Structure 1
């Protein structure tokens, strides 16, 4: 990949209304990020709106800032872009990393849990992470309070990856400043956000998909119902990864999420040997070898107005699966995907988890 194409790809994902799905579709249709950038205004107009592209000067400043911080970029298509993450729905087209990138290529185990974890759970998480790292696996977590913090502390000497929901120069929570610096120096720090990005609520579910995507399996140590840790576990399960949980007392609300996961079929784990046994059954043939190839997002270069009207008529403010829109419209996937892309660029479509869409 040329430096010009790398720059254009970063500029493409930084452009308004461009997400991982539209990024893939644009590259599949136009073959290069430069051509895609030139086509965005036209496609947005067909979708009933207007859209610009990211300012080249702003992208240049972002790159300069990242380099000054000692960070670098991993783009889809790079040989060292993590292959397991490449398989995730909505995987980030661009990562900013600081530290040892080879850690992402080793067997990884995600460990997540409650921010207000009990003292016993924190101690268990730290010991479990240390034992996993001593078995030549890398522990991935989110540098949050509680279980995440202890997972990194336990695995810092053997291999740890911290995924954050903000810029690489931002620390959250503030009390983990020293730990985040250690992860960047002795492990690997990962984000999809430009420097200076503050941690907003919507960034955390997106961060969770990276945590789950990097790992062969996810261990939940302590979690209340409807917690972010359970989101990570669900994402791991949806991707065909191993979901593991540490059982807890039914009298402790912080254990209810883990106990419910086990009831639903998650693997009960009590030590590092259990974890390694669970991920040992993962078939590496499930992972596509080589870099991202942009296959699998059909788009069309020609859509009739009647086809566009037919697709829009099937959409509403309730999210529906794209497959259902294709079935009901009777149109080809390429035509439907193109109309959805145009609507998204025009600001009239929102994408949701699970391949669902709705009118904005």
Structure 2
């Protein structure tokens, strides 16, 4: 059921102008949690997909609610990594419209278990200008902003501008030359920071030490070895860990869950 937010969300006071109205479906208790925003390109490469999911998943496991914009690409992966019960999706249209259509099932899942927010009334379709306010809300809700991939002319760079104006720290992940040039240029200018080790990053912002760093098998698997490499090193453990849900095999590589 679509309802009006009838209380002030303190984090949104950092916006240029507090939204005139806010509508929601889902669990508003998530607004009280520590939150981090994760956004990025709609066309992430496989490396970005992998590490966006890993970041969102590990942050969520550490008790942090993940905020994003329900768009294709990085946004959707961030929501999926966090799991639907610990994520907030801010959309650029009325809540009676599930957009983009490709993410319809994801949005329904978040409606049931997490929280969907919008500053637009029923029936209002997404337009270029509606994404601008959506992006500002996404950034404002998070204590920090993580942009896992953005090209030179990416609209995501606007979100980084919002974060800097709001005095929030912005992070990205390391990329190869000629990839994610939008974030790499900002790293050169010392405007955003790079996450080189996910566990160290999470420990730094939460004070919680990731137990996987103490597990020899999981520590090895953090580097995403091939399934063959992992089996050669830990022949008696990999299958066991997979069954226990500690790791998963994606495209022939091992990922820590």
Shorter-chain TM-score bucket reads 0.7 to 0.9
For structure 2, which runs of at least 5 residues remain unmatched after alignment? 208-257
Q: Secondary structure at the match of 1:153?
A: helix
- Is the 8 Å Cα contact of residues 111 and 220 (structure 1) preserved in structure 2? yes
Structure of higher RCO (CA pairs closer than 8 Å, 6+ residues apart): 1
Partner of 2:193: 267
Cα distance between partner residues in 1 of 2:201 and 2:159: 20
Shift of 1:261: 2.2
1:258 aligns with 2:183: yes
Shift of 1:91: 2.3
CA gap of 1:275–1:205, structure 2 versus 1, over 3 A, is: farther
Partner of 2:156: 229
For structure 1, which runs of at least 5 residues remain unmatched after alignment? 1-69, 281-360
Cα distance between partner residues in 1 of 2:203 and 2:122: 35
| Cα distance per residue 1:179-208 (max 9 Å; x no partner) | 001111111000000011101011111110
Root mean square deviation of aligned Cα: 1.6
| Cα distance per residue 1:252-296 (max 9 Å; x no partner) | 2xx11121222232121131541562588xxxxxxxxxxxxxxxx
Shift of 1:226: 2.7
1:72 aligns with 2:3: yes
Cα distance between partner residues in 1 of 2:117 and 2:84: 18
1:247 aligns with 2:178: no
Cα distance between partner residues in 2 of 1:234 and 1:276: 26
Alignment of 1:305-320 (within 5 A): none
Length-normalised TM-score, structure 2: 0.76
Shift of 1:94: 1.4
Shift of 1:113: 0.7
- Is the 8 Å Cα contact of residues 98 and 184 (structure 1) preserved in structure 2? yes
Cα distance between partner residues in 2 of 1:208 and 1:244: 16
- Is the 8 Å Cα contact of residues 245 and 261 (structure 1) preserved in structure 2? no
Cα distance between partner residues in 2 of 1:261 and 1:159: 30
Q: Secondary structure at the match of 2:24?
A: strand
CA gap of 1:209–1:151, structure 2 versus 1, over 3 A, is: same
* Residue 113 (structure 1) aligned to one of 36, 40, 52: 40
Partner of 1:303: none
Length-normalised TM-score, structure 1: 0.55
* Residue 66 (structure 2) aligned to one of 139, 163, 176: 139
Partner of 1:196: 123
Partner of 2:104: 177
Segments ≥4 residues shifted beyond 4 Å: none
